[in-house]
Structure 1
Amino acid sequence: MSFDGSFTHAMTGELNRLVSGGRVSKINQPYDNEIVLTVRSNHENYPILISANPNYARVQVSRIPYVNPHTPTTFTMTLRKHLSGSVLKKVSQIDNDRVMIFHFTTRNEIGDLKEMRLVVEIMARHSNIILVDTQDDMRIIDAIKRIGADKNRYRTILPGDTYITPPNQDMVNPFAENVDYQKIEDLTKEFPNQEVLSSELRKRIQGLGKDTSLYLAQAMHKDGAVKDKFDKFFDHFNNPIPTMIEHGKSNSFNVYPFEDNNIQYDTLSELLDNFYETKARLDRVREQGGQLIKIARSELKKNKNKKKKLQKTLDNTKYADEYRIKGEILTTYLYKIEKGMTKIALPNFYDNGNEIDISISNQLTPSENAQKYFKRYQKEKNAVSFVTEQLKKTNDEIDYFENILSQIEIANPSDLDDIKVELKNEGYLKHHNNRNTKNKNKNTKISKPEEFITDKGVHILVGKNNLQNDKLTMKDADKRDTWLHTQKIHGSHVIIKDFNPDDETIETAAMLAAYFSKARDSATVPVDYVQVKKIRKPNGSKPGFVIYEGQKTIFVTPSKEFVDQLRENK
């Protein structure tokens, strides 16, 4: 199910039950198109995520942690000015459209009560968050996305403009009292095919996504009175049973277990946290780390092309020995070369005396022809040494940038700063500040690795990028701690803060190493483990690269559920 008008209705009901009457205690904007309003209600803090993300626009209470930018945006400061300390009276919805309104009571500069509204329009790439002053003729204070007349002729969304609601769809609100059930019954009879009926229902009933309309069509084709079937279906949105319906990797969220293979949650917000956690994280990482991804992919492509050329050059050097052999044969039989010859057949004493054809120049003496082959042999021999060295460096570069892309893939947005600093220090990302930027970056404080605690109270640390990995393994870890890493697979350094961990702890740490690696979706992952004292970092090696010996290997199957459960122990 998409976050359509009907799901918006259900979420509006949940928010009213949880936070209606609460007070706004914090306002943050951790990401470009998303804000978090923390509302204190019934002695509990509720972080309300309001997202105008083009791909994952939604409103929910989110318990997923986030990191705020160092400097708040102008929109954040505007919201704090007008809404900090205000009381959230209620949350409403315009008909059954994807427009949610937060109604706040606050005080103006002279202490008089006034009402402010935060309007959330959940409309894919047109999604927006708009602060409106209701006592000033619905004047727009500001919006997270400003829309001028050049982008929308129907309405502009700019500070000082009057807020105009999205165009009326002239469709039936299924939660209103004036539903024409006869028309619904006529449609059901006219279109016996469920898919066709679902399409027709979407044209007439407001707030139906594709999945919702299909479930409604299935319900309408069951036995019973039309009114009863219709009202029962939409009652699921008034009294939801938050459900994740599993379809392999393409799971969907819903307000009711309309299908088998489902997982049920306590709240719609908890359901959405589980559904969007990975999707939204990847989207935020792609958005904030776009430059890093572009650089890594560009360098990777460049080095793969270079590798092909070097390999071709190396393949051509296999003829080097042939040049040497021809030079030696010519030297042995100089007396047989006559003036004006361009080719000669001579016995090959490396091949049982079988004749070999040798091209020669009639412009050179016999001795010069022999020396020509020796020079070509020496040139190819030198090329082998050079190309082999370059090929190794190129393979190291390919491995490095594949590792960077793997780290970005499993990173949280807060981990990107370390990767950015690393690429600057390695010279792949240009410095846009003054000459001392490089030194400043080298002294930049590296973020902390993620910490987990086992049921037995053992602490396990997981590095998420090369700078974290180097600091964790080479500086912070005790030499008697245990170090883990996926075998020959890009992934995180993992440290068990225990000098003699038992098998269960090693397996737990191995599960973490496998999950925070490129092989997190694999069934069986080999993980090496060894004491930290056996880890070495070669001089001049890339960040994150180490070598080790004396390791043991354990095979595990990574599991997101297992990692989530460990996180709850903290």
Structure 2
Amino acid sequence: MGFDAKAISLVIAEMNRTLQGGRIRKVLRPSRHLFLFQVESFSRKWALLVSIDPSRLVFTMTGWSDPDIQIMSSAGPDDPLTLQFRKYLKDGKIRLVHQHQMDRVCCIDIEKVDDGGNHYLTTVITELTGRSSNLIMVEGPGDKVIAAAVYHPPTGPQARPVIPGSSYVYPVAPASRFVDVIDDSVMLPSMANEGKAGEAVQCQKIFSIWIGGQRAKSLDLLRNRVDRVLKKIQDKALLKKKRMQAELDEIHQTMELRIKADSIMSSLHIIGTARGSIEIPDCHRGGNIPVDLDPSRTAVECANLLYKRARRLDSRSRLLKPLIETEEGILSSIELFRYDLSQQEDTQGISDVSASVLESLAGHLLAVLPISETTFLRKLSIEGESFSPISMNRSERSGRKRGGVRSRVQRSCRVRRAFIEPDIEILIGTNSIQNHNLVFRIAGREDLWFHAREIPGSHIIARRTNGVEITSSDPDYDHIIGSCGMLAAFFSKGRESGRVVVQYTNRKYLKKPGTFVPGLVIVTREETISSIPCIPDGMDLDLIIQ
């Protein structure tokens, strides 16, 4: 995939979240066009990898423990350019990673304190512009060039000279870079007479218009891809359940084996030396029962073999029953996730659903999905709104990256909020992770909890803003229960039904299940109400972040 302005902006957004405030500990140059920086940020070591090779432009980050990074870090001796970069950048703090005027130019501002306690700012500029790509280090208010991977003298064909001590000039971003991906109807007036500043502004406007027009389409594509992954897991879990159920049905014939063995032991005086297929009296049900006796074994040995086979099948039966229950739990979880997915209206919501899938089905995914699909879910769940496949590194493609998902469950909670009365607040979860956070992080023990019974839906919490408990003796209690019941029915899979049974109780009567599945709870005490799925008149819902 080529490095265009959109891709670079997404990579830079990820770097700012991860590397901003970190310190550069190592500066290496494994090859002529490849530069490697070790950044220590949030007690973790990262590798910032930059390649200005025209055939393989790279501007990305990964964990320092990646095997490929370890090989690169042990490459040959240092050259003068590496020593110069190290002099100005080592132990410097990354202040900001930014993009120049939506062009393929990435800038990293690094602050360092010299021996005299003076602060100075150095900027590392990466130009990912094909055959003219370059890595340049500048400093000072005049952006004076300190060093560069490729120097261009003033007399050369290069319009922008790059030599030590010269003032750095950014490359001009051609407007046509964005024009070829948008409709003619969004073309703005000619940029020829507006100068560089006007050109940059126009480029940003055109790019913003294109992004806005593509957002809905991209969201549908992302939702469909996650749904295809869930459908694949669901189909394989259903097939596995059917196979185990068929095996379990065959195992139920163990009683017949025991009856035959008991009949042989009780008819030894009748069998005598007879072998092969014979009929003997059925000691349990009366009548006769056919048995096959091995000519090379005695009748007692044949009976013991039947007992042994029956015990082995019983053991297999005891193993199959919990496995079938596990597959049934997976199928019910996937049904919940697919419903959640259909209700999401932004990338962040789809990201939360992916995190829920990874949390509850982590051990199952690797067995039924290709590594690429598992990596896609993991990357989407960690990055959220900034998700982009452009910055995937080798450790993620190989499925070795594990961190980040559980912490997602413990971070901010995005919920809908409404008010029945000025002091009665209603909070509605938007997906499985937010339902989990709403119930077990935000809600108080005495707050009221509502959920559509036995069907997927949002968890709803009702509470007073002043912290006072809502009790059945309150004059507006019935109105609260009725309104929340309608909301719980509306934000559930039974929305199209005439009526939905809604369960409600205090938050203190809810428990987490034994295995961590976001959105699932165990209710130890409940009451029910039959509600019409609708939003009460005059109620406005706002999306907030707790």
Flag the 1:364–1:564 CA change in 2: closer, same or farther, 3 A. Answer: farther
Could you say which residue in structure 1 is the equivalent of 2:313?
380
1:459 aligns with 2:425: yes
Gaps of 5+ in 2: 1-5, 11-95, 104-174, 366-373, 379-391, 472-476
AA aligned to 1:479 is R
1:554 aligns with 2:529: yes
Could you say which residue in structure 2 is the equivalent of 1:504?
479
Mapped to 2, the partners of 1:447 and 1:297 lie a distance apart of 27
Alpha-carbon distance, 1:328 to partner = 0.9
Q: Is the contact between residue 129 and residue 143 of structure 1 (CA under 8 Å) also seen in structure 2?
A: no
**Partner of residue 493 from structure 1, selected from 459, 471, 476:** 459
Flag the 1:423–1:440 CA change in 2: closer, same or farther, 3 A. Answer: same
Could you say which residue in structure 2 is the equivalent of 1:469?
435
1:127-177 CA-to-partner distances (Å, cap 9, x unmatched) read 67643333649999769999xxxxxxxxxxx9xxxxxxxxxxxxxxxxxxx
Alpha-carbon distance, 1:298 to partner = 1.1
AA aligned to 2:291 is I
Q: What SS does the aligned partner of 1:387 have?
A: helix
1:333 aligns with 2:267: yes
Could you say which residue in structure 1 is the equivalent of 2:16?
none
Flag the 1:384–1:505 CA change in 2: closer, same or farther, 3 A. Answer: same
**Partner of residue 298 from structure 1, selected from 222, 229, 232:** 232
1:480 aligns with 2:446: yes
Alpha-carbon distance, 1:292 to partner = 2.2
Flag the 1:442–1:135 CA change in 2: closer, same or farther, 3 A. Answer: closer
1:536 aligns with 2:469: no
Mapped to 1, the partners of 2:222 and 2:253 lie a distance apart of 50
Alpha-carbon distance, 1:335 to partner = 3.3
1:399 aligns with 2:332: yes
Mapped to 2, the partners of 1:283 and 1:555 lie a distance apart of 38
Mapped to 2, the partners of 1:556 and 1:547 lie a distance apart of 22
Q: What SS does the aligned partner of 2:253 have?
A: helix
Alpha-carbon distance, 1:564 to partner = 8.1
Alpha-carbon distance, 1:338 to partner = 4.8
Q: What SS does the aligned partner of 1:545 have?
A: coil
AA aligned to 1:547 is I
Alpha-carbon distance, 1:440 to partner = 2.8
Could you say which residue in structure 1 is the equivalent of 2:189?
133
Flag the 1:437–1:448 CA change in 2: closer, same or farther, 3 A. Answer: farther
Could you say which residue in structure 2 is the equivalent of 1:566?
540
Alpha-carbon distance, 1:456 to partner = 4.4
Q: Is the contact between residue 527 and residue 554 of structure 1 (CA under 8 Å) also seen in structure 2?
A: yes
Q: Is the contact between residue 415 and residue 447 of structure 1 (CA under 8 Å) also seen in structure 2?
A: no
AA aligned to 1:329 is S
**Partner of residue 356 from structure 1, selected from 269, 274, 289:** 289
Flag the 1:342–1:131 CA change in 2: closer, same or farther, 3 A. Answer: same
TM-score by length of 2: 0.53
Moved more, 518-527 or 444-453: 444-453
Alpha-carbon distance, 1:454 to partner = 1.7
Q: What SS does the aligned partner of 1:359 have?
A: strand
Q: Is the contact between residue 258 and residue 307 of structure 2 (CA under 8 Å) also seen in structure 1?
A: yes
Q: Is the contact between residue 425 and residue 442 of structure 1 (CA under 8 Å) also seen in structure 2?
A: yes
Alpha-carbon distance, 1:358 to partner = 1.5
AA aligned to 1:525 is V
Alpha-carbon distance, 1:288 to partner = 2.6
1:418 aligns with 2:392: no
AA aligned to 2:309 is R
Alpha-carbon distance, 1:360 to partner = 2.3
Q: Is the contact between residue 131 and residue 143 of structure 1 (CA under 8 Å) also seen in structure 2?
A: no
**Partner of residue 526 from structure 1, selected from 501, 512, 518:** 501
Alpha-carbon distance, 1:549 to partner = 2.5
Flag the 1:569–1:381 CA change in 2: closer, same or farther, 3 A. Answer: closer
Q: Is the contact between residue 327 and residue 371 of structure 1 (CA under 8 Å) also seen in structure 2?
A: yes
Flag the 1:377–1:541 CA change in 2: closer, same or farther, 3 A. Answer: same
AA aligned to 1:462 is I
Could you say which residue in structure 1 is the equivalent of 2:407?
443
Alpha-carbon distance, 1:286 to partner = 3.0
Alpha-carbon distance, 1:544 to partner = 1.6
Flag the 1:565–1:541 CA change in 2: closer, same or farther, 3 A. Answer: same
1:56-83 CA-to-partner distances (Å, cap 9, x unmatched) read xxxxxxxxxxxxxxx99999958xxxxx
Mapped to 1, the partners of 2:215 and 2:462 lie a distance apart of 27
Mapped to 2, the partners of 1:537 and 1:484 lie a distance apart of 16
1:271-293 CA-to-partner distances (Å, cap 9, x unmatched) read xxxxxxxxx99966432333321
Flag the 1:346–1:564 CA change in 2: closer, same or farther, 3 A. Answer: farther
TM-score by length of 1: 0.51
Aligned length in residues: 330
Q: Is the contact between residue 500 and residue 530 of structure 2 (CA under 8 Å) also seen in structure 1?
A: yes
Gaps of 5+ in 1: 1-27, 33-70, 79-115, 147-157, 159-279
Alpha-carbon distance, 1:126 to partner = 9.3
Q: Is the contact between residue 413 and residue 438 of structure 2 (CA under 8 Å) also seen in structure 1?
A: no
Q: What SS does the aligned partner of 1:343 have?
A: strand
Mapped to 2, the partners of 1:73 and 1:520 lie a distance apart of 46
Q: Is the contact between residue 452 and residue 569 of structure 1 (CA under 8 Å) also seen in structure 2?
A: no
- Superposition pairs of residues 307-322 of structure 1, within 5 angstroms: 307-322=241-256
Mapped to 2, the partners of 1:490 and 1:292 lie a distance apart of 18
Alpha-carbon distance, 1:563 to partner = 7.8
Could you say which residue in structure 1 is the equivalent of 2:150?
none
Q: What SS does the aligned partner of 2:357 have?
A: helix
Report sequence identity in percent.
Answer: 21
1:370 aligns with 2:303: yes
Mapped to 2, the partners of 1:76 and 1:522 lie a distance apart of 52
Flag the 1:300–1:283 CA change in 2: closer, same or farther, 3 A. Answer: farther
Moved more, 290-299 or 305-314: 290-299
Flag the 1:308–1:476 CA change in 2: closer, same or farther, 3 A. Answer: same
AA aligned to 1:133 is P
AA aligned to 1:566 is D
- Superposition pairs of residues 97-112 of structure 1, within 5 angstroms: none
What RMSD in Å do the two structures reach over aligned CA positions? 4.2
Q: What SS does the aligned partner of 2:495 have?
A: coil
Q: Is the contact between residue 347 and residue 356 of structure 1 (CA under 8 Å) also seen in structure 2?
A: yes
